Structure 1
Amino acid sequence: MIEMEVTIQREDGFHARPASEFVKIANKYRSTIYIKRNEKLISGKSILNLMSLALGKGEKLALSIDGEDEEQALEELLGIL
């Protein structure tokens, strides 16, 4: 299991397009992917849940990935955040 704190770096925050890219990539992997922000824990494979976080630039979240392909998933997902 990989757990890490991540800060949103995108100038325009984490709106619909990057959230959609994140979910598309997350769903390629067998690992479970969770995001936690302000005590709210959501699946990183659900666009609706991800959009409900309304993440802006500079905001922090906890990313948790667990499974056989967790390293590959982390590497690819960090490129979007």
Structure 2
Amino acid sequence: MEKEIIIGSTAGLHATLAAKVVQTASKYAVDIKLYYKDKTVDLKSILGLMSLAVPKGENVKIVAAGPHAEEAIKEIASILG
């Protein structure tokens, strides 16, 4: 399953937001990745997520596979959007 999201936070994908996303992704038994431009990171990796430095208004894609993929994507999308 996949979903495109526009980063809504005025500070972009900052440390606090990234920590919240990683914490949320980690509670699901899914393989979940975030795609931004030509980069891909595991959403369970705080360093990977922070390395993207995604600014406000940018489009990212979340792709998840596993038994709770849809639920995980919905919750993470609500955090990022």
Q: Could you tell me the TM-score, scaled by structure 1's length? A: 0.93
Q: For each residue in 1:20-55, what CA deviation from the matched residue of structure 2 results, as whole angstroms up to 9, or x when unmatched?
A: 000000000001110111111110110000000001
Q: How far did 1:69 drift?
A: 0.5
Partners of 1:19 and 1:29 in 2: CA distance? 16
1:15 aligned residue: 14
Which secondary structure state, in structure 1, belongs to the residue aligned with residue 79 of structure 2?
coil
2:52 aligned residue: 53
Report 1:31-46 matches (<5 A).
Answer: 31-46=30-45
Amino acid at match of 1:14: L
Segments of 5+ residues of structure 2 without an aligned counterpart are none
Q: Which has the higher helix share?
A: 2
**Please, what is the CA RMSD of the aligned residues?**
0.8
Tell which deviates more after alignment, 20-29 or 8-17. Answer: 8-17
1:64 aligned residue: 63
Q: Which runs of 4+ in 1 moved over 2 A?
A: none
How many residue pairs match? The answer is 80
1:30 aligned residue: 29
Amino acid at match of 1:40: K
Q: How far did 1:76 drift?
A: 1.0
